[in-house]
Amino acid sequence: MDRKAAQLQTIETLTKAGLVLTEDEMQRVEIADFGLDRLEQEGLQLITYENNSHYCAKELVLFPNQTCPEHKHPPIGKTEGKQETFRCRAGKVYLYVEGEPTESIQATIPRESEAYYTVFHEVELNPGQQYTIPPNTLHWFQATEQGAIVSEFSTTSRDEYDIFTNPDIKRTP
């Protein structure tokens, strides 16, 4: 899928869920393939509403079975890493964080990157449910076959400092 098609699908997904974007926001829909060129398997679509020195608000769109790769938000200078709350708005998402591994996870780890998924404490998020990820915590997440929309509320986002388990990933905002 090319970037323009992914952007259009993202806008359509948000619109169907009743989320209204301005023309400017539609132009700013970000397609993150993490430099892997496997967007439909490992990637993320998002719109950032606000990102300032105090807080950040985003909508994350995951296409069916799409996975956002494992990463963490480390401390930057004297600031602790980003703390983020994920609130599921539509669909279902499986979130994996550090902690006691779940015996049998529901997600399917992308085969090409299997070695780079290392945390398996599963949190299932359905519409209206939320979970807060502490700073500097490894995590990854995957939508089910229906896709998902997740609102992210966090401290300031500095994506360029994220640390991914997969050394092949390149993340630039």
Name the residue among 3, 45, 47, 43 with its Cα closest to residue 24: 47
DSSP 120-138: -EEEEE-TT-EEEEPTT--
Cα 100 to Cα 113: distance, rounded to the nearest angstrom: 22
The Cα-based distances of 127 to 68, 88, 148, 168 in angstroms read 19, 5, 9, 33
What confidence category does residue 171 fall into, taking pLDDT thresholds of 50, 70 and 90? confident
Q: Which residues pair with 24 in a beta bridge?
A: none
54 phi, psi to nearest 5 deg: -115, -40
pLDDT digits (tens, 9 = 90+) for 2-45: 999 999 999 999 999 999 999 999 999 999 999 999 999 999 99
Query: Is residue 112 within a helix (H) or strand (E), and if so which, with residue range?
Result: none
172: pLDDT strictly greater than 70: no
Name the residue among 82, 72, 65 with its Cα closest to residue 152: 82
The Cα-based distances of 82 to 51, 68, 73, 92 in angstroms read 12, 16, 5, 23
pLDDT digits (tens, 9 = 90+) for 101-119: 999 999 999 999 999 999 9
pLDDT digits (tens, 9 = 90+) for 34-87: 999 999 999 999 999 999 999 999 999 999 999 999 999 999 999 999 999 999
173: pLDDT strictly greater than 60: no
Question: What stretches of the chain show up as alpha helix (H) in DSSP?
Answer: 3-16, 23-27
Superfamily of domain 3-164: Jelly Rolls (2.60.120.10)
Task: Collect all residues with Cβ–Cβ distance below 8 Å to 31 and sequence separation of at least 6.
Answer: 3, 6, 7, 10, 39, 43, 45
